[in-house]
Structure 1
Amino acid sequence: MPLSEEELRLLEQMERALVEEDPKFASTLRGTSLRSVARRRAILAGVVFIGGIALLMVGVTVHWAWGIAGFLVMLGAATLGLAAIRGQRPSAAQPQQAPEAPTADGLTLIQGGRKQRRPKAPKAPKQSRSRSHGSFMERMEQRWRRRRESGGF
């Protein structure tokens, strides 16, 4: 018996939520790992980069426009390759997620995005050799007045 449209829609929503919540688990269920996908992308980027070098060499001998196209191909392949390599991290280097906090309605709140920085402790004011009273502009005005009064020009 086939699924109804509403059941298909709910199933798709559950799949999207699973992928967003735990991409490693979702890729395991699909049969491919994120590491193998990143490795394939990096290898493909390397092959395209070599093709860009060949295109650059053709551009040197034939026409300068081919050389520019080869350079752009190399640049794009290097960018994609580095993004693929940086995307694969060992599982031990993965950041630990904060525990989920239940809200008033019984749902859990998952913290995402960048890690929050800890507030820095206030620094003790520096004591310089001269008087450090007032703001920077006030000190500059005091220096200016002293120079004018002493005829330092």
Structure 2
Amino acid sequence: MPLSEQEQRLLDEMERSLYHNDADFVATMGARSGARPNYTSLVVGILVAVLGIATLVTGVIVQQPLVGVLGFAIMFAGVLVAITPRRSGGKAQARGPARPTKGTRRNSGGFMDSLGERWDRRQDGHDR
């Protein structure tokens, strides 16, 4: 179900406010959202994690705690390799703050202030 025109405007205003007020968060999330997963490191990480689980189970079977701890460390390293995002080497550029388009106006008070003003107008019966 598509958004109504009012909901779409509210969503656009929230997005502009986010870009305007929290540029660091936007830069962090923008860089991650555009990055493709590195399947090679994912597969290698999963294989290393499975090897670590096998070593851990072997340590339990032969009743050698040191082998079990080593297996856990290998498993942990494999998971880290699998979930750590690849380094882009400067290829991915962080998106800067969004600029308002031609038909929009920029509030100096921010998104929450405009919501408060709308709420006050609605309570007074002016915005129906």
TM-score tier after normalising by the smaller chain length = 0.3 to 0.5
Q: Give the number of the structure with larger relative contact order, counting CA–CA contacts within 8 Å between residues 6 or more apart.
A: 2
Q: TM-score, normalised by structure 2?
A: 0.39
**Which one has a bigger Cα radius of gyration?**
1
